[in-house]
Chains A and B, each alone.
Chain A
Amino acid sequence: MQWETVIGLEVHVQLATRSKIFSGASTAFGAEPNSQACAVDLGLPGVLPVLNEQAVAMAVQFGLGIHAEIPEVSVFDRKNYFYPDLPKGYQTSQMYQPIVGPGEVEITLDEGATKRIRVHHAHLEEDAGKSLHEDFHGMTGIDLNRAGTPLLEIVSEPDMRSAKEAAAYLKAIHSIVTYLGISDGNMAEGSMRCDVNVSVRPAGQEAFGTRAEIKNVNSFRFVERAIEFEVERQIELIEDGGEVVQETRLFDPEADETRSMRTKEEANDYRYFPCPDLLPVVLDQAYVDHLRDTLPELPADKRARFENEFGLSAYDAGVLSASRAMAEYFERVKEVCGDAKQAANWVQGELSGALNREGLTIADSPVSADRLGELIVRVLDDTINGKAAKQVFQALWHGEGDSADAIIEAKGLKQVTDTGAIESMIDQVIEDSPVQVAQYRDAEPEKRGKMIGYFVGQVMKASRGTANPQQVNAMLKDKLDALC
């Protein structure tokens, strides 16, 4: 039987505020345990929450970034459950009137095709603390520094049909929130994590199958792997005559499988009700309009502009607009060298290769956009050839010179375009290669094109790589053909 996968994602994004959503405690990462948990975060009696305006602004910016409706009124509710890292006994969240209404996110698939994934809503809530289950004499240690950190939970519609689409969606959310600067998007530190709802149904069937929820997946790769495993598990289960049960599962990256979490003794009953400590949040239109006017250019718009204005392929435009740092670097290189295609090639080729090799992000690149742009200028004006340019890049990368020009000068890489100099090198190579010349002469004319490579190589070697290869090629062909 043909099966179709149906996936919906709940993405939790930690907002990059300085203080917590309802208190003035710091949100800085990595502080001493409980040194950033104040009376409000601890849920001590008599405290009152006061909402952080920046958390509200960031949520609205996200909403505008996904073309969502921004309702005038939103309301906070209490989600009640007991766990020691939630000292109040409830999480302040938004159940019925979230701050961001329905919107959509465009994802890019292989070959640059795009698909729209609908977002059901996004709501503000507070994070819980952290439980440490290592041995504290058989007890659990609780660090409440994270309690009260603002989260934006982004709930998609079940619009994704493969693990790849789910990963692409997560990447799109990641790039929107980092472009907006509302989150650092650091998945390793837990700034972004997601719950994945997965079900399967026979192809063509309209009704959804029973879904399983995979909790707390915290990397793009794990999302794909968790879904792939889960889909296979569900299909096998059904084909063996079993039934999928609605449950919460955990992905174990070590074992590469999902496992059922302890089934709760009864179905979730969070007894949501409006939080009496918080009044409804009312956003006036002027405020929303102001935020809309100050939004930066977002990835989807940048991608379209890179394609239309710079003539880049859909693929190149997608890669170069994926992160704001990458896009800004590329645009600066383009500005300096004046050639978008060359800039795209260098950023995606030599630069990305070097970054990947050393596990660096573009923000840490030892070669600045200005230096790379200047290097490309020297390729474009024929000062150096492509091969020498790669050498110059490596030298810049390793800090062997302050600029492309200085390195070209110091290493004597200036391209030889002087016809006389090249001609004498060619004559020398022809004189030194009687066997190859004879072979060339005896070959069928259509095979000679390939054979010329040997001579080009020898001349380039003689010039220590500085001759202009196109020029060498053309001159060699004339010379050799004259001998035939």
Chain B
Amino acid sequence: MAIEHADVLRAAHLARLGLDEGEAAHYLDDLGRILEMVDQLQALDTEGVTPMAHPLDATQRLRADEVTETDQRDDFQRCAPAVENGLYLVPRVVE
């Protein structure tokens, strides 16, 4: 599967990454080589093999429905750029 310049820009946009032209070219090359490896994997015959959702052949452990966390808001908000009345403040998302 070939990747094009436009695909890189689209992926970057979806991931909210700002790439300049040099970086875009760099990633085009990197991603291209990753996809080449995927193509190799694709060539394998997986007929009759059940897909795995996880590389570990294990199942999810569950926890009891208990409240174990205490309020650590002050600690968490120490590294936030802006807070007010207990809220995290972010650039306005609606006009």
**B29: min CB distance to chain A, Å:** 21
Interface status of A357 (Cβ within 8 A of chain B): no
Chain A residues whose C-beta falls within 8 Å of the C-beta of B65 in the assembled complex: 17-19, 52-55
Check A280–B59 contact: CB distance below 8 A. Answer: yes
Check B67–A56 contact: CB distance below 8 A. Answer: no
State the interface size on chain A (CB cutoff 8 A): 52
Interface status of B42 (Cβ within 8 A of chain A): no
**B50: min CB distance to chain A, Å:** 10
Distance in angstroms between the alpha carbons of A32 and B77 in the assembled complex: 14
Within residues 28 to 82 of chain B, which ones have a CB less than 8 A from any CB in chain A? 53-54, 56, 58-69, 71-73, 76-77, 82
Interface status of B6 (Cβ within 8 A of chain A): no
Check A23–B69 contact: CB distance below 8 A. Answer: yes
Check B62–A37 contact: CB distance below 8 A. Answer: no
Within residues 37 to 53 of chain A, which ones have a CB less than 8 A from any CB in chain B? 37-39, 42, 44, 50-53
Check A141–B88 contact: CB distance below 8 A. Answer: yes
Interface status of A108 (Cβ within 8 A of chain B): no
Q: Which of B58, B63, B68, B93 contacts A133 (CB 8 A)?
A: B93
Q: Which of B61, B66, B92 contacts A18 (CB 8 A)?
A: B66
Check B64–A75 contact: CB distance below 8 A. Answer: no
Chain A residues whose C-beta falls within 8 Å of the C-beta of B72 in the assembled complex: 38-39
Among listed A271-279, A315-323, A367-375, A425-433, interface-contacting one: A271-279
Chain A residues whose C-beta falls within 8 Å of the C-beta of B94 in the assembled complex: 133, 140
Once A133-B92, A280-B60 are accepted as A-B contacts, the answer to whether A35 and B69 lie under 8 Å apart by CB is: no
**B74: min CB distance to chain A, Å:** 10
Once A133-B92, A139-B91, A140-B89 are accepted as A-B contacts, the answer to whether A26 and B67 lie under 8 Å apart by CB is: yes
**A278: min CB distance to chain B, Å:** 6
Interface status of A34 (Cβ within 8 A of chain B): yes
Check A19–B54 contact: CB distance below 8 A. Answer: no
Scoring A residues 4 to 39 as 1 if CB is less than 8 Å from chain B, else 0, what string do you get?
Answer: 000000000000011100011110000011111111
**B73: min CB distance to chain A, Å:** 5
Interface status of B1 (Cβ within 8 A of chain A): no
Considering only CB atoms, which chain A residue lies closest to B11 in the complex? A271
Distance in angstroms between the alpha carbons of A44 and B69 in the assembled complex: 15
Q: Which residues of A contact B (CB under 8 A)?
A: 17-19, 23-26, 32-39, 42, 44, 50-56, 73, 75, 80, 82-84, 97, 131-133, 136-144, 269, 271, 274, 276, 278-282
Q: Which residues of B contact A (CB under 8 A)?
A: 14, 16, 53-54, 56, 58-69, 71-73, 76-77, 82, 84-94
| Listed A/B pairs (24) with beta-carbon separation below 8 Å | A18-B67, A19-B67, A24-B66, A36-B71, A42-B76, A50-B63, A51-B63, A53-B62, A83-B93, A84-B88, A84-B90, A97-B53, A132-B87, A139-B92, A141-B84, A141-B85, A141-B89, A142-B87, A142-B88, A144-B88, A274-B54, A279-B56, A281-B60, A282-B60
Which 6 residue pairs across A and B have the least CB separation, nearest first? A24-B68, A141-B87, A54-B65, A53-B62, A33-B86, A38-B69
